[in-house]
Chain A
Amino acid sequence: MVTSGKGGVGKTTTSANLGTGLASAGHKVILVDTDIGLRNLDVVMGLENRIVYDIVDVTSGNCRLKQALIKDKRFENLYLLPAAQTKDKTAVSPEQMRALSAELKEEFDFAVIDCPAGIEQGFRNAIAGADRAVVVTTPEVSAVRDADRIIGLLEANELRNPKLIINRIRPQMVKRGDMMDISDILDILAIELLGVVPEDESIVISTNRGEPAVMDHSSKAGEAYRRITRRIRGEEVPLMNLDVPDGLMDRLKRLIGIR
């Protein structure tokens, strides 16, 4: 499952990219959107116009699981189970989610569960069927605070050793000392780092187009997600080099020796 506590840090974008990345590596993947009432994952994946049945139809027995799955045309083995938009979080119970996850486990190599923001019922539903957790945060004090809370809740619910993704980091700002750096965040959260994704305008474009950035080989964020995907598959991959080339002024200053 992909979770964060705070909203807007990139859970859905991360879910879409991890799922697509894993599928392009040949795994059979299902993306599950549990954000009932505020569904987004279908939009980010560009599959909105193909929804007939949703997760609530499946858990309440309106349709069979197979009927609700949307097959992504770009990848042979990538599927989406969309959230319902006209219901709310109470439409599904943790027990139903557990049963659903068990069913998905039979069928797929990876089930990526996109968790809603918050720590209420939606979160409890999402964690019910999960075996592993990925926590997404941004280098902001408020996001890190919420991630800390979420990690505590995950541990209390027997989801040990969650992994961390730091999203939307801006190397230039970190360098100037205006943004928390990776070690500041790891100091507080003290969990294993799965990857660092730089702030990247191409994410906005790819999200709006419904094409995950991981497919775009010129995108920096896409490259970061490809590395994260490989780490999830068990490979050892070094962190991306986020060093920014020095600006013109820096180079000039060094040239005349005032640095």
Chain B
Amino acid sequence: MTRTEHVALKGTRDGLVLYLDPAADFKTLLGELDQHLGESAEFWRGANVRCYAGGQAYSPEEQQVLTDLLKKHALELSGWLSESEVYVPGKSQESQENRGAAIPEHEQRVDESQSEGKALFVNRTLRSGTSIQFDGHVIIMGDVNPGAEVIATGNIVVMGALRGVAHAGAMGERKAIVSALHLAPTQLRIADLVTRAPKDEGGSGEPEVARIKDNRLIVEGI
């Protein structure tokens, strides 16, 4: 979910997807990708990436150049995706549902409860300008300061003060929650719902959790 003008890297339930602007010049794409990965490669290190470039087909030479560039940043190109396989805003809801139907029932239950899955532990305070994106749950042992953001496909738990932006269930999971010892976010998002902290700030001083109830984002004590 980090992007530049023509390149975007997103974490999905099935791994990383690299979106390449089909209309952009190949050289431009490589330049942006190189710079972008240089900035965030640590975070993705060792991951498999699948690419999506709309209807654009690249020559074997170009694909080789791309593979080498990804390898330089410790990423593995594992295949190409067609339009029906990727998350495109707008048609997302539909494809999510289709996929839901195809998943065996026991797996679906785990998914719905949001109680299992991969988790990322972050052992520091996130200062302004930092961004954490993860396909799974995120637990932060520190504060999330104003100007920092956390985006997770699962739940977000902050063992400190959440004052920045948090987006749980980023791929549309409405059962996801955000909790913090001190919940005072600049903005809070779960799945497709967005809310701001009330003006009177501060909160209750108690640990709180935000979740979706009756199609609304609510905050309550734990």
Contact = CB atoms under 8 A, between A and B. Distances in A.
B163 A188 contact: yes
Interface in B137-181: 143, 145-147, 161, 163
Interface string A139-170: 00100011011011101000000000000000
Contact of A149 (B125, B128, B143, B163): B128
A156 B143 CA distance: 17
A145 B148 CA distance: 10
Contact of B147 (A145, A155, A187): A145
Interface string B114-145: 00000000000101111000000000000101
Contacts of B147: 145, 148-149
Contacts of A151: 127
A148 B129 CA distance: 9
Interface in A3-39: none
Chain B: interface residue count, which band? Answer: 10 to 19
Contacts of A155: 127
A193 B208 CA distance: 30
B3 to A, nearest CB: 20
Contacts of B129: 148-149, 152-153
Interface string A213-237: 0000000000000000000000000
A99 interface: no
B128 A152 contact: yes
A190 interface: yes
Contacts of B125: 190
Contacts of A145: 128, 146-147
A148 B127 CA distance: 6
Nearest to B145: A148
B129 to A, nearest CB: 4
Contact of B143 (A146, A153, A190): A190
Contacts of A153: 129
Contact of B127 (A141, A149, A187): A149
A95 to B, nearest CB: 19
Contacts of B145: 148, 188
Contacts of A152: 127-130
Contacts of B161: 187
A193 B72 CA distance: 42
Nearest to A5: B128
Nearest to A155: B127
A146 B146 CA distance: 10
A142 B53 CA distance: 39
A187 B182 CA distance: 12
B100 to A, nearest CB: 39
Contacts of A146: 128
Nearest to B129: A149
Nearest to A144: B146
A186 to B, nearest CB: 12
Interface string B15-28: 00000000000000
A189 to B, nearest CB: 8
Nearest to A152: B127
A145 B127 CA distance: 9
Nearest to A153: B129
Interface in A199-252: none
Contacts of A148: 127-129, 145-147
B39 to A, nearest CB: 11
6 contacts: A146-B128, A148-B129, A148-B146, A152-B129, A153-B129, A155-B127
Q: Which 7 A-B pairs have the closest CB atoms?
A: A152-B127, A148-B128, A149-B128, A149-B129, A148-B127, A148-B145, A145-B128
Given A141-B146, A148-B128, 19 more contacts: A145-B128, A145-B146, A146-B128, A148-B129, A148-B146, A148-B147, A149-B128, A149-B147, A151-B127, A152-B127, A152-B128, A152-B130, A153-B129, A187-B161, A188-B143, A188-B145, A188-B163, A190-B125, A190-B143
